[in-house]
Structure 1
Amino acid sequence: MGLNDLDMKHKYDSDVDNIINDFYIPVLSESCKYYRLSGFFSSSVLAVVARGMENFIKNDGKMYLICSALLPEKDIKVIEENVKNNSNVLENYLIKSLDDIEKGFVEDHVSALAWMLEKGNLKIKIAIVSDKGAGMFHQKVGILEDIEKNSISFSGSNNETASGLLYNIEDFKVFRNWEKGEKDYFEDDHDAFCKYWNDLGKQTKVLDLPDAVAQEQEATPTKVDIRLVKRNNSKAVRHGNVVYMKWLTFKNFGASGSQIINAKVIIKNLKYKLWKVYNKKLNYKFAKNNIKFKLNLKSNGVFKLKLKVYRPIK
């Protein structure tokens, strides 16, 4: 069989369709290449489509993923370990043969991510919006190809996460390269992926995974001296020889409309703690001693601290 033998709909809607069993698992099972643009990615998706991924990998499948820098902490950790060529990733992993893939992916999707990276079944690039605004990479396109070069593309509202497949109400359209009336739409999706994979976007910078991790590590101070000071009868924060204003602005990328809320710096006798701070290029970590952020968090959105509004006081 191949992709052209599957009975596919032109549109899938999770409100009425079981998009995992009706689409993802069948098409992955027949494919050997998977190209994906996704605003959000989580290894949890590997558990949800484990049966399809087992067949995909048995087909010597290769997945090429471009996503934003907003990755779950556990996924970031295994990605960093892979970039460092940590050979211990596979030593104690529960997948001992290709027939163990489905079980292994369901039981430990984070290790499954590490396993795919180590085996070469997955390559990841990070996309960063390079304009002066607070935008983020939010493309959602997928392309699958079988051994006979039959290909499909799908584009719509769905991200490559478990929640996107299981719980959200999502829809997407499917285009087949062997159907005359759909080929042009397929080519548009294919060209979109190639543009970003080759870093040809005008407002987006796409980094190879080792370069993305290296940039983060280079920007990570080994020791940061942050303390409370007074300037103009007002509290401020000193970082090294630079004094910053006390109000920090967070950007909520998880909520519609990207609400902005304020966070006040409060000094407490806390244990040494890491906080992720993001600039417009990539994140880097500040070790902040005795500083706590008191946040008015709305919904379960993901928050990024915009460094450019954390301005020095002259």
Structure 2
Amino acid sequence: MSGLKNLDIKFKYRSDLDTIYRDFYEKCLRCSIKYDRAVGYFTSDSLKLIARELENFIDRNGEIRIVANPQLKKEDIDAIEKGYKAKHDVITAALLDTIEVTTKNLEDETLNVIAWLIYKNILKIKIAYSKNNCIYHEKFGIFYDDFGDKVVFSGSANETIGGLVNNFEKIDVYFEDHEKTRIDDAVTDFNNLWDNCTAGLEIIDIPKAVRNEILTYKKESIKSTKKKRKKLVLGNINCKH
């Protein structure tokens, strides 16, 4: 596997000239063993765009860590603010509702793939919410390769189909040696998020009830996409475009 330094990548990707998921995401994932993503909203159906590379992540025991904002309805937030329900319980219920909606529309290996990714500790998800109930909305990511090199990006795109394909988006990319300060700063910011050490935010593991519900959809194996040349399609864990 070649490293990130060997890639021909640009300092920015913008929808007028680039297909961001193909020209940047897939290219970097192909050379990565780890992918960290902090994002305002995440839908796992966005992962179908990079599904072939996700299968390679399974093969090489890679790691994907995502910190995302839960999609809460206005009545959920009102219930929290008025003390009717604990925030953790509201988040758990919202995520479980989304899984239930997803299962009604499945025509593929969606939840099986998600279950396997989580079961094998390849896909790890944590939930971010602010202590004053405003929206966690920052967006940046880090690719790591097997040689110690990193590529950092930040910009307007959410980890959703809308953010990666449908919307007009721009991301800035940092990978040169002279950008080491920016790269190291992004790594620090993400690790602080993951370790729940960011002022004003509360970061929790994906609730056990949600994890256990997803794992009930794990089959004995994942159908290979390599021979059939068919992409894995991943359904929503939580949705916002």
Which amino acid in structure 2 is aligned with residue 140 of structure 1?
Answer: K
For 1:128-177, what per-residue CA distance to the aligned partner results, in whole angstroms no more than 9, with x for missing partners?
1002xx4111111100101111111111111111221110111111111x
Q: Secondary structure at the match of 2:124?
A: strand
Once residues 38 and 67 of structure 1 are traced to their aligned partners in structure 2, the CA distance between those partners, rounded to angstroms, is: 5
- The root-mean-square deviation of aligned C-alpha atoms, in Å, is 3.0
Is the counterpart of residue 183 in structure 1 residue 156 in structure 2? no
Say whether the 8 Å CA contact 1:62–1:122 is kept in structure 2. yes
Match of 1:4 in 2: 5
Q: Secondary structure at the match of 1:17?
A: coil
Match of 2:37 in 1: 36
Match of 2:131 in 1: 130
Q: Secondary structure at the match of 1:65?
A: strand
Deviation at 1:211?
Answer: 6.3
Once residues 13 and 198 of structure 2 are traced to their aligned partners in structure 1, the CA distance between those partners, rounded to angstroms, is: 29
Which amino acid in structure 2 is aligned with residue 44 of structure 1?
Answer: D
Match of 2:122 in 1: 121
Say whether the 8 Å CA contact 1:2–1:148 is kept in structure 2. yes
Structure 1: 5+ residue stretches without partners: 82-105, 215-299, 303-314
Which amino acid in structure 2 is aligned with residue 162 of structure 1?
Answer: I
Misfit runs of 4+, over 4 Å? 78-81, 211-214
Deviation at 1:114?
Answer: 2.1
Match of 1:154 in 2: 153
Q: Secondary structure at the match of 1:128?
A: strand
Is the counterpart of residue 20 in structure 1 residue 21 in structure 2? yes
Inter-CA distance 47–206: structure 2 relative to 1 (3 Å threshold):
same
Q: 1:197 aligns with which of 173, 194, 197?
A: 194
Once residues 185 and 144 of structure 2 are traced to their aligned partners in structure 1, the CA distance between those partners, rounded to angstroms, is: 15
Which amino acid in structure 2 is aligned with residue 150 of structure 1?
Answer: D
Superposition TM-score, scaled by structure 2 size:
0.70
Is the counterpart of residue 46 in structure 1 residue 40 in structure 2? no
Match of 1:166 in 2: 165
Inter-CA distance 126–212: structure 2 relative to 1 (3 Å threshold):
farther
Deviation at 1:126?
Answer: 0.6
Which of the two has greater strand per residue? Answer: 1
Inter-CA distance 146–157: structure 2 relative to 1 (3 Å threshold):
same
How many residue pairs match? The answer is 188
Say whether the 8 Å CA contact 2:36–2:141 is kept in structure 1. yes
Which amino acid in structure 2 is aligned with residue 158 of structure 1?
Answer: A
Percent identity among equivalent residues?
36
Deviation at 1:109?
Answer: 3.4
Q: 1:76 aligns with which of 70, 77, 95?
A: 95
For 1:213-238, what per-residue CA distance to the aligned partner results, in whole angstroms no more than 9, with x for missing partners?
69xxxxxxxxxxxxxxxxxxxxxxxx
Q: Please tell me whether Structure 1 or Structure 2 has the larger radius of gyration of its CA atoms.
A: 1
Q: Secondary structure at the match of 1:49?
A: helix
Once residues 109 and 45 of structure 1 are traced to their aligned partners in structure 2, the CA distance between those partners, rounded to angstroms, is: 12
Inter-CA distance 107–13: structure 2 relative to 1 (3 Å threshold):
farther
Say whether the 8 Å CA contact 2:129–2:136 is kept in structure 1. yes
Q: 2:204 aligns with which of 200, 203, 207?
A: 207
Query: Larger relative contact order (C-alpha < 8 A, sep ≥ 6)?
Result: 2
Say whether the 8 Å CA contact 2:33–2:62 is kept in structure 1. yes
Which of the two has greater helix per residue? Answer: 2
Say whether the 8 Å CA contact 1:32–1:57 is kept in structure 2. no
Structure 2: 5+ residue stretches without partners: 73-91, 101-106, 212-238
Deviation at 1:54?
Answer: 2.0
Once residues 192 and 128 of structure 1 are traced to their aligned partners in structure 2, the CA distance between those partners, rounded to angstroms, is: 16
Inter-CA distance 108–212: structure 2 relative to 1 (3 Å threshold):
closer
